[in-house]
Amino acid sequence: MTVQPLTFVHMTDLHVNAPGVSDDMLFNDTTETLKRTLSEIKRMAERPAFIVASGDLTNHGEPEAYATVAGIFEEAALDIPVLFALGNHDRREGFVVGFSDLHQDASQPYDHDSVMNGLHVIVLDSSVPNEIGGYWEAGQMDWLRARLADHADLPKLLVMHHAPMVAEEAPEMEWESLSLAATNELRDAIKGANIVGILSGHVHLDRVHHWHGIPVVIGMGHHAATDAVALPDAFHMLDGTGFAICTLRPSGLTATFAAHPQSREIRKTLNMQMLLEYIEQRKAAAAE
């Protein structure tokens, strides 16, 4: 375990659009929200060691949208390492083109790892084309086991867009997390490893839970906030955005949620049954 406190930032669900693209399902100016977050990071009294952006970097996965994200970070000139993950709104092909300095095979999951000030950060790609929920592709858990064996003396932080599934009693809700099968595969792969936390997004909620003793920190993101009070009967998307300031100490992981000014007004109401039917349609289309 690191001796000195290690502070870093977690942001998620940036949902940046390509320039000039209008979208009725985008509920705020996500480009400006990303700029606001980076401005807030500059204001932090303690400079973070690194930044994690845990997926849904763009809304539709166009190369121009990724280039916009890359440009905003470059213009901010933070000089802080940024670790990106991919989510269900992302497209690997667009990501590789838009982040032109990447040397990544677009046909493969974007899995990677780095050691940051004595913390081994392992980023997993839980996105699968035409799926809303999270899954693993062949070989990913073998790759994870190999990475966990690296730097065996260091604590591990996992990053994945879809958090492990905890509501095993509600299989119809797999869309909001890793599938149950993927969750169990992850559980088996990390058994016995020194995992100090998992960072995720996807559900547009500030949420923390313990999964097999591991703190899972999920961020609200930059797009909109899910109305937790109304779930599961109604699915309201509210005005709400923010990020998290995380600190790792010998005693464990702290996550402090930093919300941007927000009205919490309803921006869109989705019918849960319609959402589930839409998910089934996506799965059927992918199977054809």
pLDDT tens per residue across span 246-272: 999 999 999 999 999 999 999 999 877
CB count, 10 Å around CB of 255?
A: 18
Range of the domain at 149: 6-287
Residue range 28-61, pLDDT digits in tens: 999 999 999 999 999 999 999 999 999 999 999 9
Q: Decide if 1 is inside a domain.
A: no
DSSP characters over 119-158: EEEEE-----TT-SSB---TTHHHHHHHHHHTTTTS-EEE
Residue 115, H or E segment? strand 112-116
Query: What CATH number is given to the structural domain containing 147?
Result: 3.60.21.10
Q: Decide if 231 is inside a domain.
A: yes
pLDDT at residue 102, as a whole number: 84
The better pLDDT of the pair 284, 94 is held by 94
Question: How many domains does the chain contain in total?
Answer: 1
pLDDT at residue 283, as a whole number: 65
C-alpha neighbours within 13 Å on the C-beta side of residue 263: 7
> How far is C-alpha 197 from the chain's CA centre?
13
Q: Are 89 and 58 in contact (CB under 8 A)?
A: yes
